[in-house]
Chains A and B, each alone.
Chain A
Amino acid sequence: MNKAKKKWSFTSYCYLIPSMLVFIVFLFYPFAKTIYLSLFKTNKMGQAKIFYGIGNYKDLLSSPSFWNSMKVTLIFALIVVVGSMLLGLVTAVLCNKAFPGIRFFSTAYALPMAIASSSAAMIFEMMLHPAVGIVNKLLGLNINWLNDPNTALYCVAILTAWLNSGINFLYFSAGLGNIDDSIYERASVDGASGIQQFFNLTLPGLSPIMFYTLVVNIIQAFQSFGQIKILTEGGPNESTNVIVYSIYRDAFFNYKFGSASAQSVILFIIIMLITMVMFRIEKKGVKY
Chain B
Amino acid sequence: MNQSGATVAPGRNFYKNQISKEELEALKLEMNKKALIKRRSQTIFRLAVNVLVAFVVLLPLLYAISIAFMPSGELFSLDLNLFPKNPTIQNFVSALKNVPLLQFILNSFLVAGLITLGQIITCSLSAFAFSFLEFKGKGILFMIVMATMMVPGEATIISNYLTVGNLGMLDTYSVLIIPYLTSAMGIFLFRQFYMTFPMSLYESAKLDGCSNLRFILKILIPLTKSAIGAMAVYTFINAWNMYMWPLLVTGSDKMRTVQIGISMLNSVDSQSITLMIAGVVIIIIPSISIFIVGQKQLIRGMFSGAVKG
Direct A–B contact in the complex, CB atoms closer than 8 angstroms: yes
Residues of chain A having any CB pair with chain B under 8 Å: 8-9, 11-13, 15-16, 18-20, 22-23, 25-27, 29-31, 33-34, 37, 45-46, 87, 90-91, 94-95, 97, 99-101, 104-105, 107-120, 122-127, 129, 131-132, 134, 137-138, 162, 165, 170-171, 173-175, 177-178, 208-209, 212, 219, 222-223, 225-226, 229-230, 244, 247-248, 251-252, 257, 260-261, 264-265, 267-268, 271-272, 275
The answer to whether B126 and A18 touch across the interface, beta carbons within 8 angstroms, is yes
The answer to whether B150 and A271 touch across the interface, beta carbons within 8 angstroms, is yes
* Number of B residues with CB within 8 Å of any CB on chain A: 88
- Excluding A26-B178, A119-B280, 6 further A-B contacts by CB distance (< 8 Å) are A9-B136, A30-B158, A30-B160, A123-B280, A175-B307, A230-B263
Binding-face segment, B23-31, B54-62, B85-93, B196-204: B54-62
A101, B50: Cα distance in complex, Å:
9
The answer to whether A94 and B152 touch across the interface, beta carbons within 8 angstroms, is no
The answer to whether A170 and B299 touch across the interface, beta carbons within 8 angstroms, is yes
Question: Which of A108, A109, A126, A209 is within 8 Å of B64, CB to CB?
Answer: A126
Query: A109-B54, A111-B58 known; A117 and B243 CB under 8 Å?
Result: yes
The answer to whether B76 and A132 touch across the interface, beta carbons within 8 angstroms, is yes
The answer to whether B155 and A123 touch across the interface, beta carbons within 8 angstroms, is no
A11, B129: Cα distance in complex, Å:
10
The answer to whether B181 and A118 touch across the interface, beta carbons within 8 angstroms, is no
The answer to whether B60 and A116 touch across the interface, beta carbons within 8 angstroms, is no
B106 within 8 A of A: no
Residues of chain B having any CB pair with chain A under 8 Å: 43, 46-47, 49-50, 53-54, 57-58, 60-61, 63-64, 67, 75-78, 80, 82, 121-123, 125-126, 128-130, 133-136, 141, 145, 148, 150-163, 165, 178-179, 181-182, 187, 212, 237, 240-241, 243-244, 247-248, 258-260, 262-263, 265-266, 273, 276-277, 280, 283-284, 287-288, 290-292, 295, 298-299, 302-303, 307-308
A172, B259: Cα distance in complex, Å:
29
Query: A27-B151, A87-B57 known; A126 and B273 CB under 8 Å?
Result: yes
Residues of B within 8 A of A91 (CB): 53, 57
A116, B238: Cα distance in complex, Å:
8
A226, B280: Cα distance in complex, Å:
14
